[in-house]
Structure 1
Amino acid sequence: MARKVRNLLGLAVLATVVERPMHPYEIATVIRERGKDRDMGLKWGSLYTVVRNLHRHGFIEVAENARHGARPERTVYRITDDGRRELRDWVRELIAVPVHEPPRFEAGLSVWAVLGPDEVPALLRERLARLEEENAAQRAALERHREEVPRMFLVEAEYDLALREADAAFTRGLLDELDRGAFPDLQQWRDRHAAMERGTPETSS
């Protein structure tokens, strides 16, 4: 379905204020503390715009305008019944409906022939080293969190780690093929790259 507010930051805001009324600064603090900004790749510059849109569409409403000491007045928002329904429908859609979102690595692989096959293995080794280091750190952090955080709040981190480990496994296998010379059409790749470097059109054999 077409959503009135499609920005994932809107989802994060609704999932935060569903717990209790908050002002935007507090919403941002809670989202960051829980690591949801990393899970969703949020763009913080649009926070107040998203809050205004949620309010305009009736998903949140003003609970109070609070002032503490000399600080500027802050508007506290709470979720509405429509907001609760929107939040639940949105989460159902995200879990049930797969959407292909090409990662940067996929984009790079789609045009990797502009590089020579003798250059690519070094780049894959660099990628693999970074992935293995990051995955080890993420695995250790996940194990620490398991001791104090219920698993229902960790499944997105488990999913992210599984994807990253699959990425590392694929990269490792691709690198092995190139290192052993087992990748098909290596000579054709070299000839194509050499022709591009010379600025001459590729000819069919």
Structure 2
Amino acid sequence: MAKRRKVANPLALAVLAELTAESMHPYEMGRRLKEHGKDRDIRYTRSSLYMVVEQLRKAGFVAEQETVRDNRRPERTVYALTDDGRGELHDWMRELVAEPQHEYPMFGVALSLLAVLPPTEAADLLEQRHTALTAQVEEIRTTVRTAGEQGVPWIFLIEEEYRRGVLEAELAFVTGLVASLRQPESVRARQEFFDNRT
């Protein structure tokens, strides 16, 4: 069972991970998260990043190390990972890697309510999704191939491989669902169901 975290935002986990490399200020954290492609997995804004850093500070997971003054820029507070923060990072990572969590993706919501659409329209829309998913899979393949050619170690590409695997599974599911929706007996059964609901 998932533990209740003092700071449960996934962005907090990414901040803790970035601080294992070195102490830094939030602006630098944001730059590195983007540079490392974490913005594809974790949604955040500049203000949410600063808010999470403050929550981590209050929880004792990060501490102010120094304030840097530069004539051309405003003051910047540099934060360091505390021992408690390092412990939280490792404990949280172990939980996330080992224990499956029930997530609520929007596509699952749409599928649970698919019966409100006429079968032919649902199939048409799913074919549009299929096209978009195919493009995303190809983009990931290109990214991984290019990164590999540039010598990026495979461990830094595993989230892309995971994303590709999930998208490929969804592609296979969508392909089968479209085929089912296009079968006349399936369309007729769904249309009767749809007609009875309206």
Q: TM-score, normalised by structure 2?
A: 0.93
Deviation digits for residues 16-60 of structure 1, max 9, x if unmatched?
Answer: 111111001000000011011212334544211111111111111
Q: 1:125 aligns with which of 114, 124, 127?
A: 127
User: Contact between 1:8 and 1:42, CA under 8 Å: does it hold in 2?
Assistant: no
Does the residue aligned with 1:118 lie in a helix, a strand or coil? Answer: helix
Distance 1:5 1:105 in 2: 27
Q: Is 1:194 the equivalent of 2:186?
A: no
Aligned to 1:201: none
Instruction: Determine helix, strand or coil for the equivalent of 1:62.
Output: strand
Percentage of matched positions with identical amino acids:
43
Contact kept in structure 2, 1:31 and 1:37, CA below 8 Å: yes
> What displacement does 1:78 show?
0.6
Cα separation, 1, equivalents of 2:166 and 2:87: 30
CA distance in 2, matches of 1:53, 1:177: 49
Aligned ranges 1:1-205 → 2 under 5 Å: 1-147=3-149, 148-181=151-184, 183=186, 186-197=187-198
2:120–2:182: 8 Å Cα contact kept in structure 1?
A: no
Aligned to 1:200: none
In structure 2, what is the Cα distance between the partners aligned to 1:157 and 1:134? 11
How far off its partner does 1:162 sit? 0.2
**Structure whose residues are more often helix by fraction:** 2
Whichever residue aligns with residue 106 of structure 1, its letter is G
| Cα distance in 2, alignment partners of residues 173 and 192 from structure 1 | 20
CA 1:182 to 1:193, structure 2 compared with 1: closer, same or farther past 3 Å? closer
Considering only CA atoms, is the larger Rg found in Structure 1 or Structure 2? 1
CA contact 1:124–1:171 (8 Å) conserved in 2: yes
Aligned residue type for 2:158: V
**CA distance in 1 between partners of 2:154 and 2:189 (Å):** 50
CA distance in 2, matches of 1:171, 1:189: 17
Q: Distance in 2 between matches of 1:58 and 1:123?
A: 48
Where in structure 2 are there 5+ consecutive unaligned residues?
Answer: none
Amino acid at match of 2:60: G
Q: What secondary structure sits across from 2:87 in the alignment? A: helix
Q: Is the 8 A contact 2:12 2:56 kept in 1?
A: yes
CA gap 1:39/1:60 in 2 versus in 1, 3 angstroms: same
